[in-house]
């Protein structure tokens, strides 16, 4: 579905924020799966690490949560580097959302883990940590416990792009400490 090109930076930001907020509830939303990018020190060199993750919950103004295994590289790297970015893209609406901010662990994740279904819990009960070298593709699971972790992304800056035949649109903005939009302006796409 092609959208009319936005003419108001505020309307564009609100549209993107609402679209992201609805994504976890809509099975076919293009924003439900996205690229999360963190930093990690590997052999003394700082590298960006990108992976596809599932958007689980979105709060006001682009702040969101994901679920992960507590033993993943993205979780262990948070001890040194909390900075992260996220990239969302909807190919039908031709909208890109780039977010920059801070990623942090949610302390009461285990309480939420108990509310998951058994098939969902199974994803966080592998005997070996994700990324561990294995002898085969078969995965062994533990029958109890789990390595579940919720990560919360606090957006500090955003960059929104609408590609359109009548002219591309691009808006940048930032959020204050309370999560409200503190600056919003058009930039050249």
C-beta contacts of 134-140 below 8 A and 24+ residues apart = none
Give the mean pLDDT of the chain: 92
Instruction: Identify the DSSP state of 80.
Output: T
**Is pLDDT above 90 for 4?**
no
**Could you read off the pLDDT of 167-189 as tens digits, one per residue?**
999 999 999 988 889 999 999 99
**Is pLDDT above 70 for 149?**
yes
Query: Out of 14-23, 68-77, 94-103, which region has the weakest mean confidence (pLDDT)?
Result: 68-77
Region 16-27: mean pLDDT is 95
Q: What is the pLDDT of residue 137?
A: 87
**Is pLDDT above 80 for 2?**
no
How far apart are alpha carbons 5 and 121 in whole angstroms?
Answer: 43
Q: Which residue reads 């907020």 in tokens?
A: 21
Model confidence, pTM: 0.92
- As given in the structure block, the two tokens for residue 145 are 């416990």
C-beta contacts of 78-82 below 8 A and 24+ residues apart = 78/38, 78/103, 78/104, 78/105, 78/151, 80/39, 80/41, 81/38, 81/39, 81/40, 81/41, 81/46
């Amino acid at each position: 579905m092609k959208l009319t090109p936005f003419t108001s930076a505020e309307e564009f930001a609100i549209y993107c924020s609402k679209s992201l907020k609805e994504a976890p509830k809509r099975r076919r939303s293009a924003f439900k799966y996205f690229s999360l990018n963190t930093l990690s020190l590997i052999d003394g060199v700082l590298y960006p690490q990108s992976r596809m993750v599932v958007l689980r919950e979105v709060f006001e103004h682009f702040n969101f949560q994901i679920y992960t295994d507590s033993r993943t590289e993205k979780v262990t790297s948070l001890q040194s580097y909390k900075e992260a970015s996220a990239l969302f893209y909807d190919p039908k609406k031709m909208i890109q959302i780039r977010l920059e901010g801070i990623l942090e662990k949610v302390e009461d994740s285990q309480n939420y883990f108990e509310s998951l279904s058994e098939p969902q819990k199974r994803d966080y009960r592998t005997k070996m940590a994700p990324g561990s070298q294995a002898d085969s593709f078969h995965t062994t699971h533990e029958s109890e416990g789990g390595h579940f972790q919720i990560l919360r992304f606090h957006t500090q800056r955003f960059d929104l792009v609408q590609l359109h035949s009548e002219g591309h649109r691009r808006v940048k903005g930032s959020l204050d400490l309370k999560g409200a939009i503190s600056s919003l302006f058009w930039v050249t796409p």
